[in-house]
Structure 1
Amino acid sequence: MKKQLISLLLPALLWSSVASAETLSLKECLERADHSNPTLRTAVWDSRIAEENVRQTSSSLYPRVDAQVGYTVQDSAQAVKINGFTAETQEPNYAFGGVAASYTIYDFGRRDARLKQARLQADAAASLFQAQRKDLSLQVIEAYFGILQANRMILAAKEEMAQVEQHRRVAQALFEEGVVTRNDVLQAEVRLATARQSLLARNNLQVNSWLQLNYLTGTHPSHRAELDDSAAVGSVDEEQVDAADALTKRPELQALRHEFNAAEAGVREAGSSFFPELYTRAGLDYLENDKVREQVILSATLGLRINLFDGFASTSAKARAVQVRSRVHDRLRQIKTQMQLEIDMARNDVKVARERIAVAEAAIRQGEENLRINRERYEERVGTATDVLDAQTLLTQIRTDHYRSLFDFQVASARLKRAVGEL
């Protein structure tokens, strides 16, 4: 029975060891998100719908062909009276049909403006999709380095627990020798419980970060893998960033420019509704009537039509188009200011994170030396237990700050690249 149980569990253990050995790179996460993110897969339909709108609007460049056929039943045939005589001019029941083709020759730019507007809206949708992709990449990077940071913080918490546990054993040994009071042991046990609480919180942060990353990459929530600790976004020289050039690379700004130009075309289209339209029509009509000579009539028309009154619909449409253009224009100015703010803040975050790394590296060496001195003083019964515990807590905090500064630098670099349109 025991051998059978081992034979059943061995494949599962081997599979789990292979699965845990999987290394997931940042590049792979970004590729998975690009192909499987649910939000991005939904957003792609906006671009496709906009392209179909262009095709629909382009139909006005071609003639419109209509056909009709039917059969009419009347109570009695229509007739005329001539010199006291009545003569029917049609049959009481008759079939009819026809084919007609109409085409707008000139409409003072209304058709061209409508088509231009549709194309610009499609370009805007495509640019917005690219902006969503870049935002998604930034979210993936933040989640990826969030997991790496959580892993390091868990290690720091475990190291603190090990150090506090070692101190507790020393305090217990000294208490049993009658050198220190019971308070030293209790103090160490309380600090150990606090360290365990911190470890639980950091484990929870790691789990939530994994759930976020799996959602962004379209992966099952239970998926886990080894992440690449050497992953890096690539730094940007914050001092050499040209804000004016960076703004031209932002897809959100490009989308707004397309929307503004589309709004301009909308104003021209609305204004052209006040002008006439020159059109042509060619038709073939059949009317079943044995009382006339011609039952099939071919016709060609060159006409001019203009709307005289539509309940102020055209006036309202033009006013609305002007207001839409003004709104997009104000939004364009706002987004430029907002993007400049993003660049300035991201540039400052990169600079500060780089300085924090240098400060934390020096502080770690000092914290380790401080802990060593206080531990030796306590073992020699010169220092107090509080000094040792405080030194351990301080070292854990310094290491945590160091890990945060390392990963904050990567995330800040990604934000700066996103802000300047290079992510």
Structure 2
Amino acid sequence: MSGAAVSALLTFSGAAMATAETLADTLVAAYKHSGLLEQNRALLRAADEDVAQAVAALRPVINWSGEVVRNFGVNGGTSAFTGSFGTTGISSTTASINLIAELTLYNGGRNRLEIEAAKETVLATRAQLLAIEQEVLLRAVQAFMEVRRDLEIVALRRNNVRVITQELRAARDRFEVGEVTRTDVALAEARLSAAQSDLAAAEGELQISVEEYRAVTGQRPGTLQAPRSAPRLPGSQQVAETAAVRSHPEMVQARHDVAVGELSIRIAETAAKPTVTLSGRLGATEEFGERDYSRNGRIALEATGPIYQGGRLPSLVRQSMARRDAARGNLHVVRHQIRQNVGNAYARLGIAQSRISSTTDQVRASRVAFQGVREEATLGARTTLDVLDAEQELLDAQAALISAQVDQTIAAYSVLASIGELTAQSLRLNVPIYDPSDYYNLVKDSPAAKSKQGRDLDRVLRALGKE
């Protein structure tokens, strides 16, 4: 970002507060813009379809087949009447069509277990979507506050350059009349160069923050209004940890993953049980150019089951048990990770609050000191270096206060994220909340393409822009 661009952004940021963008506006923009949310919503719809496919396995399967066969060739042989050898050409064209239906009557409960496993996967994927939503919104909070931080730091750095420029001018004037030495002028010149370098670095950091904001929201920041209040948080860290372990999306996902593991074991065990199917077939065959035809039908009740498969079936069961155990281990890891995240978030919040209190006092004292030192310098009781040092201490204190205020807001929203409450619904954002059950309810019964429910599903897909 050029110096002119930074100047324009700073000027725009000083516009009337009536047109200011609030943190809520930024969160809304991030929620609507996020491709990551769109990606995971699509993955959730894919998981919903697994339920539909599992339900379909309980229903009859009806297929058709048809073929047209051309037979041709030559028969050769000796005639029984004449004793002579001769050949006869053969050719025929037949057409057949068949209707085949099959229904699984029993397979050890595998189909119903697969439906339950698919439902648990859907619930786990929904929780994953909420966790992604929290990541998107927390990133938006960080982007918003970082732009505000860097805007104020740039303003401080610019003011610092202006003040040191004035100090340098005063030092040169005093040098001309012999009140100070050349050393005082050189010190002021060195501090001005350092201040200009710090300003350039601050403008670079602002450019990075602006690009992050644009990546998160899809637009450049306007006038960003400071949050008027902090979000409401649980009364204590212990209460927050209890809530997080109970309802954090990552914890919910881990629990459903364990449930899927348990069902996978039972599904693997059904492979050793017999399968009973009922099948029916209707067919018709006709020969072109002839009066020959046939009509036939077949109904069969068939039972099959494994006897020996080289140890594959018990291996599948053991593999499912191992994956279930892995899911249980992950549940343990996630539980403690969530507790740690809550503790870390509260610790950062406490640090920021303490820094705000101390740096506020530091800014007040540094301002008084700077004003006093500058007055004393005009009377010859202080050197130019004393003034520059006091001004630098004031600048550092102001920058520390700005950073502490930004860190406090980010830490507060990090606490919300650590307990699973940083969602569009919990924050009551002014956006259409994505309801994952809408699509699920349309597909869970595996509707046919031409049914009313199937047509409703087509309309939903068109609304989503997927057709």
Normalised by the length of structure 2, the TM-score is: 0.78
Q: How does 1:279-358 map to 2 (within 5 A)?
A: 279-288=277-286, 295-310=294-309, 312-358=311-357
Amino acid paired to 2:99: V
1:209-249 CA-to-partner distances (Å, cap 9, x unmatched) read: 11111111123xxx341111245442425625411222222
> Which whole-Å CA distance do the structure 2 matches of 1:376 and 1:274 have between them?
93
CA contact (8 A) 1:283 1:299 kept: yes
Tell me by how many angstroms 1:327 deviates.
1.6
Q: How does 1:191-206 map to 2 (within 5 A)?
A: 191-206=191-206
Residue 157 of structure 1: aligned partner = 157
1:44 equivalenced with 2:41 (yes/no)? yes
Tell me by how many angstroms 1:320 deviates.
2.6
> Which whole-Å CA distance do the structure 1 matches of 2:139 and 2:249 have between them?
17
Residue 54 of structure 1: aligned partner = 51
- Corresponding residue to 1:252 among 250, 253, 257: 250
Q: Secondary structure at the match of 1:332?
A: helix
The size of the alignment, in residue pairs, is 394
1:182-228 CA-to-partner distances (Å, cap 9, x unmatched) read: 11111111101111111111111111111111111123xxx341111
> Which whole-Å CA distance do the structure 1 matches of 2:27 and 2:62 have between them?
50
1:33 equivalenced with 2:30 (yes/no)? yes
Residue 413 of structure 2: aligned partner = 414
Deviation larger for 389-398 or 369-378 = 369-378
Tell me by how many angstroms 1:420 deviates.
1.2
Tell me by how many angstroms 1:351 deviates.
1.4
Amino acid paired to 1:305: T
Residue 441 of structure 2: aligned partner = none
Residue 185 of structure 2: aligned partner = 185
Q: How does 1:55-74 map to 2 (within 5 A)?
A: 55-74=52-71
Tell me by how many angstroms 1:360 deviates.
0.8
> Which whole-Å CA distance do the structure 1 matches of 2:13 and 2:193 have between them?
35
1:363-413 CA-to-partner distances (Å, cap 9, x unmatched) read: 111101211222122222122222111111111001111111111100000
> Which whole-Å CA distance do the structure 1 matches of 2:309 and 2:93 have between them?
38
CA contact (8 A) 2:12 2:223 kept: no
> Which whole-Å CA distance do the structure 2 matches of 1:232 and 1:165 have between them?
38
- Gaps in structure 1 of 5+ consecutive residues: 1-12, 79-90
Moved beyond 6 Å, runs of 4+: 16-21, 289-294
Q: Secondary structure at the match of 2:337?
A: helix
Residue 266 of structure 2: aligned partner = 268
CA contact (8 A) 1:70 1:96 kept: yes
CA contact (8 A) 1:26 1:231 kept: no
> Which whole-Å CA distance do the structure 1 matches of 2:234 and 2:320 have between them?
43
Q: Secondary structure at the match of 1:275?
A: coil
Q: From the superposition, tell whether residues 410 and 224 of structure 1 become closer, same or farther in structure 2 (CA, over 3 Å).
A: closer
- Gaps in structure 2 of 5+ consecutive residues: 1-7, 76-90, 423-467
Deviation larger for 274-283 or 341-350 = 274-283
Normalised by the length of structure 1, the TM-score is: 0.86
